[in-house]
Amino acid sequence: MRIHRTALLVATTAALALTPLTARATPKNQAKEPTGVTVSKETSTDREIREYWTPERLKNAKEYTPTNRGKHTTSPDATRTGSKKIFASANAAKPETSTTTTTTTAQMAAAEVAVAQEVPYTTGPSYSIVGKLFFKKPGATTESKCSASVIVSSNRNTLWTAGHCAHLGDGSGSAGFMNDMYFIPGYRDGSAPFGAWSVKYKIVNDDWMNNGDSFDADYAALVLNPHPTHGKLQDNVGALGYYFADNVEEYDDVYAAGYPGEGYNRTDMIGERMYYCYGNTVDAGPYDPFIDDRKEMDCDQGKGSSGGPWIRGKSTTNPQIIANFSHYEDDPNTGVRIDDDVFSSEYDSKSANTINTANTLS
């Protein structure tokens, strides 16, 4: 029997020419939390977080390995009919008042890439929208890292990542949130070419927070503090759109990339460079989709890529997040990864509630 381990994966988003938002909701300072979503406000200030993350701590941070195994805890949805239902969607956004320099390309992967390739730094997808996410695990004495991407939002300052990169998923409530979270877009070999942003709010679904449910809820939104010089991150670098729809697990031409610190049958991944995979996603449970409606993709990236986005429409003006790196399968006896399959949680009303809550915060 295969056991699903939540593995940190870093995905990179290849955003090119991005379509601006056509409308914005007025940001609010307090969230109206939908049922099943929890918000945690960071206690450290932006200045304190910046002072904490010295070059040495950034260098020594390790790819985060959750202690709880990926699992499915919610009951099958008996109301599903197999028809598509869109719960939330938004177009991508271009930079508006950028004070940083971005690198973009219209180049598209020509064939399926399951053996991850390094993203070319100067000609590949924009390094500005995906980056590394650093944090302190509650009670830990060492630093950890994941991946995240800029997602379009009303506050113009929000990231999308894996739930296990924001909360332990162990039922510990508010005590289980990661601390002093710090995002470096376009991170490469220790550099921060577009600056760095600290996290103010962490939003996770309760199915992840209470049960570590990687089948249905391993995603999170993070609202950032404004940069002391550059302001809102989305204004500077743009943002990916999103398309959260149920019963649509099979997508063509999906681009997923990140900062893997390891890979399936790989020894060359050390977490300092972006890698990408490209191909199609399939339904992880085609014979029983009401129980297992995760997305599955062939990609050999491993720990370090967690939270990185899977993007449809990478070569268009409207690249959108449709999933994120969550976990892979390993042998229950040895803990050794068994293949190059990677998985994302199902995206449905719970993922929509998560981003909708982020949109009420600033």
The residue extents of the domains of the chain are: 3-20+32-74+82-358
Helices (H), the chain: 46-52, 55-60, 206-211, 233-237, 349-358
pLDDT of residue 90: 94
Q: How far apart are CA 231 and CA 14, in angstroms?
A: 23
Out of 9-13, 203-207, 345-349, give the one with best mean pLDDT: 203-207
Q: What CA–CA distance (Å, rounded) separates 274 from 11? A: 8
Distances (CA, A) of 63 to 81, 134, 145, 344: 39, 9, 5, 18
Report DSSP letters for 102-148, one per residue: ---------S-EEEEEEPPTTTSS-SSSEEEEEEE-TT-SSEEEEEE
Residues 303 and 44: their CA atoms lie apart, in Å, by 27
Q: For residue range 134-146, list pLDDT tens digits in order.
A: 999 999 999 999 9
69-102: pLDDT as tens digits: 556 665 544 444 556 678 899 999 988 865 554 4
pTM, two decimal places:
0.86
Q: 291 versus 253: which is more confidently predicted?
A: 253
User: Span 3-20+32-74+82-358: which CATH code?
Assistant: 2.40.10.120
> What is residue 341's three-state secondary structure?
strand
Residues 6+ apart with CB under 8 A from 51: none
- Cα separation of 362 and 347, whole Å? 24
Res 16: pLDDT: 24
Q: Which residues pair with 220 in a beta bridge?
A: 161, 204
**169-200 residue pLDDT tens:** 999 999 999 999 999 999 999 999 999 999 99
Lowest-confidence pick of 34-43, 124-133, 265-274, 292-301: 124-133
Could you read off the pLDDT of 105-137 as tens digits, one per residue?
Answer: 334 445 789 999 998 876 444 678 999 999 999
What are the φ and ψ backbone dihedral angles of 237, each rounded to 5 degrees? Answer: -125, -5
Q: Which amino acid is at 331?
A: D
